[in-house]
Amino acid sequence: MKLRLDPWPADYEAPIQLDDDAPAIGATVDHTVESATWHAIAPEPATATACYFVDGVRRVEARVMGSFDGILTHGLMGSLSAGFVKAEGPRARFGDIIVNRYLILGKGQRETMLDYAPHSTTDNTPNAVLGELQSLMRTAETRMAEHAAGKGGCVFVDGPSYRATGAQDVVGVIKRIFEAYVSDDRFALVETLRRGGRTPLFSIADGVYDRYSCFLRLADPRPIDHPLAGIVRVEIGAAVGLQRARELASLAASLLPRFASTSQRDPRAPQNLLPGGALEQEMRRRLGDPVLLRRGIEKSLHEQRDR
Amino acid sequence: MSKEIGKVLGTADAQPLDFWIATPPEQLVQLDDVVLVRRDAGNEGKVTLYGIVDQVIARHEGARLDTDVFLAADGVLPLTHSVKAHVTVTRVEPETFVPPLPGEAVFRATGDDRSKALFFDGMTRKFPLGLSRDGEPVYGNFEFLDGSRGAHINISGISGVATKTTYATFLLYGIFQSDLLGAEAANTHALIFNVKGEDLLFLDKANVNLKPEQSALYAKLGLRPGAFPDVSIYAPVKKDQIEMIADTGKRGAGVTAFCWSIEEFCRQRYLRYLFTEADDETNQISFVAERVEQQLAREVPRVDTFEDLAAYIALSLDTWAGGYTAGTRAAFERRLQSAIPRVGYLIRGNVANQYDHTINWQRSQLTVIDIHNLHDRAKRFVIGVVLRRMFEDKEQRGSRTPLAFVVLDELNKYAPREGRSPIKEVILDMAERGRSLGVILIGAEQTASQIERRVVANSSFRVVGRLDLAEAQNNEYAFLPATSRARAGILKPGTIIVSQPEIPTPLLVQFPFPAWATRFEEAEKPAAKRNPIPK
């Protein structure tokens, strides 16, 4: 077997990819929705369209455990941020960026502390409360995508949060390819795509969220990289209709390669797009200094105990 | 009311004497802006820190690679601008030295706040130094000039940009024209040596090229633009002419020709000022000169010309200076001989009305002595003699006021760092004792590093015009912070940096175009419109 490099740093697998590209079990995939023949579609010349890049970050500030009615309860204090970057013409700038903090407890418990909003989940495991923080972030991303949509541009959302928007001009960008969706012989086409090229759209019907999707190449890989390096999958809600989905997919293919990052700027190059990378950095900055936040929590707990 | 321009930033240490502020990019903060920040200091009450911006830095925030700027310009990478400014604190009121807290609003100081920041509020007597970049007056504390707390001004700057003497005359104009001197104004005198060109020979004529906007600057300083009202101009008598005609260029009328009588030359012992080369200390010539002076003062020889006097001295030298070697006497004689064509015609035997040709520095408020046409030795002679006379007059008077100002360019020639000479002694005397005698030296030179240290050290006001950048690195300019030194290399004519005792940071000051003529053409009556039809 000839091995090739997956250029992302090895430890990027550690943050759990809770819902990024969950395998579509039992989904019906139709690869003929756009074209009867399966062939690479070359990019059209880029049009002057305003692009919005929506992203979110989250951080666990402290894990907490409590005992309610004698039952051990898991919880966490976490921060999340969601925002967007607007890139139009020769200027990219940060749009709205929000920061929220939550104290999430399992078993439906609620507590208030500092400025962490109370939130609860019915499950009571460390992973469940973390999952809840993730879904709060996804919700915030969705709101942000809705906020950015309808302004006459194209909205690119990192991950599957776009699904809940129902807006007409929102494209989900899935950075990691875990699932082929199409048969192996068709998937082989993905490896041969050139920069800006895409596969024809295929539909994914899983009964939960029907959508159109295609693979698209952001950047050509180095010879030592696996041919899948530099590939993203975009998703568009089926509700927008095939025609609109096709337009959006072509728009994505013509626009996105411009925003692809390079390895010296971003370890997750090229899939972590430049505006997204800068936005993440900015959002993490706005989350505040983790050491300071942690100390604030500890101080507050000390004071509660003294009382 | 002072306007907010930014906030104290917290990513760099804020200290009681200097701190950084972040400013929104749309807020134009520039070097020399005067700012203030207030801080609640608990029981001490409100503390106000006043300061001056001396560094401004802009960066891309969020950029990690130098080439990120291209991506930002392409509209791919969102980056924000950060602009920060460094403030050097000039004053803390009350004197509770606490750092300003990050996040505190910083205001641009205007009106009374600005006066406080620059200590103008405490100056009971102040004289105009010029205008700051934002067009506001900048004052100097006259107490540091008139001798009560300090004296003297030293101006350094490369030549050819006409800044040094122009600024010196501007200062005099401000001192004389403001109400500063009060009743003493009439008896206060200034003496200017015109060492180069004819710049200073038209001070008594208004400048026809003065534009209304320049006049407005004078008005801002509380001055009425115009010529110096009360001026006497002296020029040396013409060489090889018996008649007493002033040797001037384009300036004709109203110039007094000056010379000295052999009588005065001998009685007052001026001979030493003919031997002012700095190398004199290495040989015995100055001692011979002193011997000769003694003899001449005892009995003035009856001769008509300096040439005859020199011959008389040569004949008597063996008797008068017999104790010195023949070599020394010969050297003395050689120099005396070479002085004949260069200086000799300024020392004359039978001048009919000598008094009309004597420099009287007390005749007018401003006395200009033109020596630019003279040989270097004659220049030294004139400066040495005139300054000593003036100094002696002031000594006899015994009181500091009314003041006497002396403007002298090319100090590096007359008070060089190395060596000893009679003229250097006069200047040094003026620098050290002038403060108590009310003789104020406004000295100028290209390079302060080549001036006698004590002359510069005794100057309360240090002024720097455009400097050679290598010169600016010398210790003499240690009062300039690094940014000011760098700026001194690019100063335009009309802009200078002033350091004065009370203000801990030097100020960049602009002074208006001279309201008096600095050359013949400027003193002309406005010519009739030559070309009424525009091209």
Measure the CA–CA gap between B412 and B303, rounded to whole angstroms: 36
Is residue B324 situated within a structural domain?
Answer: yes
Q: Which chain B residues contact residue A279 at CB under 8 A?
A: 78
Q: Do B195 and B134 share a structural domain?
A: yes
Write out chain A residues lying below 8 Å of B25, CB-based. Answer: none
Residue at B531 is within a domain: no
Contact list in B for residue A281 (CB cut-off 8 A) is 62
pLDDT at B282: 52
Q: How far is B72 from chain A (nearest CA, A)?
A: 7
* Partners of residue A91 in chain B, C-beta under 8 Å: 75
Across the interface, whether the CB atoms of A278 and B80 are under 8 A apart is answered no
Strand order in the sheet with B255-258: B137-141, B126-131, B507-510, B495-499, B461-464, B153-156, B439-445, B404-408, B189-194, B366-370, B231-236, B255-258
Whether residue B440 lies inside any domain: the answer is yes
Count contacts between A and B (CB, < 8 Å).
41
CB atoms within 10 A of CB A198: 27
Domain finish residue from B118, B137, B172: B118
What are the Cα distances from residue B436, in Å, to B95, B398, B424, B432?
32, 9, 19, 9
Q: pLDDT tens digits, residue range A81-93?
A: 999 999 998 899 9
Q: Do A258 and B78 touch (CB under 8 A)?
A: no
Query: Which residues in chain A have their CB less than 8 angstroms from residue B74's CB?
Result: 90, 258
- One domain, residues B238 and B343: no
Contacts of B26 (CB under 8 A, 6+ apart): none
| Partner A, chain B 44-103, Cβ-Cβ below 8 Å | 62, 64-65, 68, 71-80
- Domain count for chain B: 3
Which of A53, A97, A266, A282 best probes binding to B when mutated, by most B CB atoms within 10 angstroms? A282
pLDDT value at residue B98 = 93
Reading chain B (535 residues) residue by residue, the pLDDT tens digits are 678 999 999 999 999 999 999 999 888 999 889 999 999 988 888 999 999 998 999 999 888 889 889 989 988 899 989 999 999 999 998 999 999 999 999 999 998 999 999 999 988 899 999 999 888 899 999 999 998 899 999 999 987 666 888 999 999 999 998 888 888 888 899 999 998 888 888 889 899 988 999 999 999 999 999 999 999 999 998 888 777 788 877 777 888 889 999 988 999 999 988 887 755 455 678 888 888 998 898 888 888 889 999 999 988 888 888 888 888 888 888 888 988 998 888 898 877 777 888 888 888 999 999 998 899 889 999 999 999 999 889 888 888 888 999 999 989 888 988 888 888 888 999 999 888 899 999 999 999 899 999 999 999 999 999 998 888 888 889 888 888 888 888 888 889 999 999 888 899 999 999 999 888 888 866 444 455 454 4
In a domain, residue B270? The reply is yes
Instruction: Specify whether B251 is located in the same domain as B266.
Output: no
Nearest-CA distance from B20 to chain A in Å?
A: 21
Give the residue from B299, B314, B348 where a domain finishes.
Answer: B348
Residue A14, pLDDT score: 36
Alpha-carbon gap, residue B436 to B416, rounded angstroms: 24
- B52 and B191 co-located in one domain: no
- The whole domain housing B296 covers 260-348
**Shared domain check, B67 and B23:** yes
Domain boundary among B95, B118, B141: B118
The verdict on B177 and B251 lying in the same domain is yes
| Exposure class string for A156-174: b at 16+ Cβ within 10 A, else e | bbbbbbbbbbebebbbbbb
Q: Confirm if A205 and A28 have CB atoms less than 8 A apart.
A: yes
pLDDT, chain A, mean: 88
Structure ipTM: 0.80
- Which chain A residues have any C-beta within 8 angstroms of a chain B C-beta? 85, 87-94, 258-259, 264-265, 274-275, 278-279, 281-282
Q: Are residues B373 and B508 in the same domain?
A: yes
**B365 and B217, same domain (yes or no):** yes
Residues B450 and B360 in one domain: yes
**One domain for residues B378 and B507:** yes
CA pseudo-torsion sign B98, B104, B110, B111: negative
Which residues in chain A have their CB less than 8 angstroms from residue B64's CB?
265
Return the residue of B nearest to A258 by Cα.
B76
Residue B525 lies inside a defined structural domain of this protein? no
Residues of B in contact with A258 (CB under 8 A): 74, 76
Is the CB of residue B232 less than 8 Å from the CB of residue B367? Answer: yes
Q: Is the dihedral of CA B272, B274, B280, B281 positive or negative?
A: positive
The CATH number of the domain where B428 resides is what? 3.40.50.300
Chain B 442-501, CB below 8 Å of chain A: which residues?
none
Residue A184 pLDDT exceeds 60:
yes
Indicate yes or no: CB of A282 within 8 angstroms of CB of B71: no
Q: Where does residue A101 fall: left (phi above 0), alpha (psi -120 to 50 degrees), or beta otherwise? A: beta
DSSP annotation string for chain A: ----B--S-GGGGSS--SSTT---TT-EEETTSS-SS---BPPPPPP---EEEEEEEEEEEEEEEEEETTEEEEEEEEEEEEEEEEEETTEEEEEEEEEEEEEEESTT----BTTBEEEE-S--SHHHHHHHHHHHHHHHHHHHHHHHTTSSSEEEEESGGGGGT--TTEEEEE-------S-HHHHHHHHHPPTT-BPPPEEEE-SS--EEEEEEESSPPPTTB-TTTTEEEEEEEGGG-HHHHHHHHHHHHHHHHHH---TTT-TTTTTS-HHHHHHHHHHHHHH--HHHHHHHHHHHHHHHHH-
> Is residue B534, in this structure, part of any structural domain at all?
no
Does any domain span residue B12? yes
Cβ B76–A259 below 8 Å, yes or no?
Answer: yes
Run of H or E including B23? strand B18-23
Q: What are the structural domain ranges in chain A?
A: 25-49+154-272
